[in-house]
Each structure stands twice: as structure tokens, then as C-alpha cells.
Structure 1
Amino acid sequence: MLTSDDITSRDICVVANPKSGRNSKDAQAIEQAMEALGSGAQLRRWSREGGLEDEVKSAIAEGFKVIVAAGGDGTVMGVAQAMMGQPAHMGVLPLGTFNYFARGLGLPQEPAPAARAILKGRAHRISVGSVNGTVFLNNASLGLYPAALRAREDVYNRWGRWRFLAHLSLIRTIYRFQRPHAMHITTSGGVERRLRSPLVFVARSAYQLGYFGLEGSDAIANDEFAVFVARPGSRWQMLKLALRLAMGTMKAGRDIELISTREMVIETRQPRPYVAFDGEKKRMPSPLTFKIHDDALSIIVPDPADRISA
């Protein structure tokens, strides 16, 4: 097991989004983190030509033991995808809006303390989820949530990145809600369900569940998915559902159905539905296959003394 005694600054390569250098706040945060990591650490930004996966694998081939994902949950997810099955460890420098994965690890949210926590941390293997081969660390979903992400992007592009606007875009999406999706869901053991729902939310982050006051942490601890299927209803019922989610009063059985499973296949009428995962989104071919990959990723977790409470 890699321990704090084994990690030196020369072992670390920080991989950042090429856009992060244009944002003065992110640029300053990366500068502070690199100073805390020491002169031996390297900073790289992937290019459109090479891509994130090639940058990560190139750094590993050069002998770096720790690849640090500098960015939000989307960047962290991308680095995790590239590091599956690789002989290196992943660190996280949180620069995003929500940073659910980093917060779940107990990492400080300020750049310099987070960097020092990586230097003094230890390696820990975790299981991760995937949908149609794409890794996700926090959640994946279809229905209302991917639509809300598209609306959120529109709002961000016009008004800037504010958490309040993210919640406002969700309300806007619900108001425009048309009809629930027809789905055929098959879970572990061949259990089948045919249903209609405006939202299926597949969780892998116990921190995120706690943040929203949702059940399902036992499933996460057992290396399963916590799957939330919203009950169909009117726009007003969907707005009440969103309000209960924001207030942490949503309950399984009353508002949603909770399913725990290690594998799941969702067939939809749409041949290529929009799927959201860790803040990103894209169309994927149906059926959607969800799997748990046991102990698939080695993560640097902070020493107890550096860990912040979730």
C-alpha cells in the first residue's frame, strides 16, 4: 500500500483542463496547489488533439505514481476513466462547483491544504460504477436530470456559474416537463420492472446521498448502486418532489422507489436517450448497462488528521 512516506513531489503529475488556465480563480488555485506540492511535481493540460486519456496514460508511462485530477467532478470522472486498470494512484484537487467526490473523500476544499493532504495521504482501492462502459463516481441518471443539466449550461453561459442558478434551472426544467419515460428495468438476479418515470437516478456517492438527505448509503457501503425511481406525476407534483429534495425530506416509498443492485439494464423507447453522469451528459444507445467494478481504482485519501468532516 502506498503511504505518505512513499509519496514525493517527483511522483506527482497534476492534470488540468486546458480551460482552467483562462479562469483567474482556477489559475490561482492551481498555482497555490503546485507550490504546496513542491518543485518536483509537474502540471500538464491535455489538448484537443491528444485528449485527457492520452495525457494520463503518457504521464503513467513516464513513471509518475500519482495522477492528480485538477477540476470539478467531470474532470475527476474523466481521469478515473483513463486510470482504470493502470498501475498508478489518483489524487483529486477540487476546483469545481460541487466537488461531491472530493468532499466524500474528506479532502479540504482549499487548493493548498488539498495538495498537502495528497502529499501526506495513502492509497485506498475503491469500487466504481459504469454505464455502457463509461465510468462515474457520483451518479448517473436519465430523464429530468440530464434535461436540467442542459438548462443549467444555458443559464451558466448567460449569467455565470452560481449554485443558486443551478437550482433555478432545475425548477425551470420541471416546469417544462412533458411526460414520463417508459422503461424496462432488469436488475441483479433477473428481476424485471416495466414502468413509467420522469427520472431514474443511479447513485454511487454516500456523501451526495447524505447531502440531499436520501436513503441508500447501505447500498453504497455494500458496493451496490442506490437507484432512485421517481413516481410519475404532474408538474406540481414534480415541483414538490424537487422541494422535498432541496429540504432533505424526500422519502423512499412516498416519493420514490429505492432499488439496490450491482447490475442493471434499462431499455427505453428512445434509441439514444440523454444520460447524465457526474455533471456531464451525452446520448447513449439503449439498452443502458450499469455495472459495479470491484476495487477498480486506487485513490489517494487524506490522513485522518487532514480529513475534513463530511
Structure 2
Amino acid sequence: MLQSPDLAAAPADPAPSADLGRVAVIANRKSGTNARDNAAIERAMKAFGTERARRYSWTPGKDPDGSMRRLVETAIREGAQTVVSAGGDGTAMAVAQAVLDTETTFAALPLGTFNYFSRGLGLPEEAGEAAAALMRARRHRIRVGMVNGKVFLNNASLGIYPAILKQRESVYARYGRHRIMAHWSVAKTFLRFQRPMRLTLDADGRVQSRRTPLLFVSRSAFQLERFGLSGAGAISDDSFAVLMGRGDTRADLFRTALRMVTRTAVEGRDYDFIAARRLTVDMRKARALVAYDGEKSLARPPFDFRMSDRMLNILIPEPDTEDA
């Protein structure tokens, strides 16, 4: 099993948390293809134990944070001691945001398109196997990333990546939620690229101006290592890995994207990297599209990236659960 470096320093309880108490499984009706497979969720429910697990359905609307918070409050009021997201990274982020201000334990099942968060914890990609692994997991307390009060578990970004997510929505609506369609949305966004952003960054008191097509603030060592990018060490040190793309043209973007896919992107040529515990980003625009764990919204700068003050109780599987 891959033990995620971003959580390596988090303290664990002295004994495995085999008793999760009552479990609330929050399923997102609009997540990736597996989320529409009721059999997959039922296998997870069976692994948790039908006598202890209860399923709740969530459909993101105009106020996804508010609706999720109310749903989690209901689950806790009805006795849930562990709240499990059953969707993709966006669903996991929404549940984590709602759980953060409570003492409830949080976990995630991989039922989305990419599932970087659950995969980064070493969970199997099949829902029933992931649930069984969580039953043998330990509780850890971690800090999560936040930007202007919004929780993110994997990354938050400005520039070309939020534009890709916007394009992806229309592609998914027409062709369905498949990874190949996600890659096609990348190409379409690059073809429409106009010019890099002009940003002013304050990273732990170090101020600099940058011209970049992408600012990528990561809290996922798994995601960085998957693409051969720098920053895993910074995350283990409880900092953000801040990556700034290089390139002024569409051709530059395509070259960098190809190098990322082939794990040949090089720091200093394709992107620049800095580590920061706190990052403030300003720009001249009145509003900008910002992405959080695959979701996006328009927000006003400046953008304040910091670690959460509160700790999130999270389940991380034991090393012997890889083949569970």
C-alpha cells in the first residue's frame, strides 16, 4: 500500500479504529460512472455492516456547501460517528468541509473519475474493498488546505486548470464522464488559450511578481509524484507545494502537458516550485476562476492559502490492507 507522504507526520491513535461507530455514507448522485453503480455502493455498505451504516444522498445545487453541511448535521444528529464520502474528489472535499468543525471522523470511498484523495491514502479503487480497508484503518488528525475559507484536500489553482474544468463540464454533458473526455477538454482549453496571468505572490513574507498560465497549490504528494513533479517533501513538512507553470503560448502548454503525462517535466524549464506555509496571491482582475479539488467558482482576489486551524479526524488504512 502507498502511504501518502502528505500525512506521514500525522499522529495516529495507539490502536486500530476497527469500531467506527455508526457510519453515514454520503453518495453524490452526480459523481463519476461508479457513483451510478448502486451495486458498488451496496458492497461498501455491506463491508461497513448494514446494521451500522446508513446511506444519504446528496445532489450539488446552487449552495453545495450549505446543502452538504445540513446533510452532515442531520447524519450526526441521527447518530453518525464516522461520515464517509461516496463520490469523487469534489464530494470528499465537500464532506471534509462540513466535518471539519466537528469531532466526527471523516473517510472517503473512490467513486469518482480520478479519486486522487482516496488513492493517495492507499485505498483500493473498488468501493467494497476500500470500505473493508477503512474498517481496519487508524484515526489520524491532520490539517487541510484552505483558500479564503474553502477547504481543499488535493489542490487549489488559478489560471489554465480552472479553465480546463469549465470546459470539462460541457464535454461531460455531451459525451459522459470518462477520463478520455477529461483529456479532450485539456486540448480544447489549450487551443483557446490567450495570455498568462500577472500575479503578485507573498509566500511566507517573500513577495514576488510572476507571469504564469497556471498557479497550482498542492497538498497531495500522491498527485505530484504521479506526474513526476517537485513538492512531496514540502507537503510532508506541512507546507504547500506551489507550482507555477512556464510558457506564453499554446505550443508551450502542449509541450508541458506532454511532459507531465510522460513524467518528464523539469523544474526550472517547465515550471517553478516554491514551498510555503502561507501564500497570498493578488491580481488586477475583479474576479477570477479558482478551482478546488476538481470543483470551481468565481471569487474575488486576493487569495489567501493557509492550513486549517482545526484538525480533521481522518481514517488511513493499515499497511497490510493493500491486498484486502
Deviation at 1:60, TM superposition (A): 2.1
Aligned to 2:80: 64
Aligned to 2:37: 26
Aligned to 2:7: none
Aligned to 1:78: 94
Q: Give the conservation status (yes or no) of the 8 Å contact 2:227–2:261.
A: yes
Check if 1:256 corresponds to 2:256: no
Q: Give the conservation status (yes or no) of the 8 Å contact 2:282–2:301.
A: yes
Deviation at 1:121, TM superposition (A): 1.4
Q: How does 1:61-140 map to 2 (within 5 A)?
A: 61-140=77-156
Deviation at 1:62, TM superposition (A): 3.3
Deviation at 1:246, TM superposition (A): 1.0
Aligned to 2:160: 144
Check if 1:208 corresponds to 2:223: yes
Distance 1:105 1:294, change over 3 A: farther
TM-score (norm. length: structure 2): 0.89
CA distance in 1, matches of 2:237, 2:316: 19
SS of alignment partner, residue 296 of structure 2: strand
Q: Give the conservation status (yes or no) of the 8 Å contact 2:29–2:36.
A: no
Deviation at 1:218, TM superposition (A): 0.4
Check if 1:297 corresponds to 2:316: no
SS of alignment partner, residue 305 of structure 1: helix
Distance 1:294 1:198, change over 3 A: same
CA distance in 2, matches of 1:89, 1:5: 10
CA distance in 2, matches of 1:257, 1:21: 32
More divergent stretch after superposition (75-84 vs 48-57): 48-57
Deviation at 1:252, TM superposition (A): 1.0
Check if 1:219 corresponds to 2:234: yes
Q: Give the conservation status (yes or no) of the 8 Å contact 1:126–1:294.
A: no
Q: How does 1:157-172 map to 2 (within 5 A)?
A: 157-172=173-188
Per-residue CA deviation, residues 209-265 of structure 1 (Å, 9 max, x unaligned), is 011111110001001110111123221111101111111111111111101001011
TM-score (norm. length: structure 1): 0.93
Code of the residue aligned with 1:210 in structure 2: it is: E
> Which one of the candidate residues 293, 303, 312 is aligned to 1:278?
293
> Which one of the candidate residues 46, 50, 58 is aligned to 2:58?
46
SS of alignment partner, residue 79 of structure 2: coil
Per-residue CA deviation, residues 137-160 of structure 1 (Å, 9 max, x unaligned), is 001101000001111111111111
Q: Give the conservation status (yes or no) of the 8 Å contact 1:101–1:137.
A: yes
CA distance in 1, matches of 2:33, 2:18: 34
CA distance in 1, matches of 2:31, 2:221: 28
Q: Percent identity?
A: 46
SS of alignment partner, residue 59 of structure 1: helix
Deviation at 1:37, TM superposition (A): 1.4
- Output the aligned Cα RMSD: 2.2
Code of the residue aligned with 2:91 in structure 1: it is: T
Aligned to 2:4: none
Q: Provide structure 2 residue ranges, at least 5 long, that are not aligned to the other structure.
A: 1-12
CA distance in 2, matches of 1:263, 1:113: 37
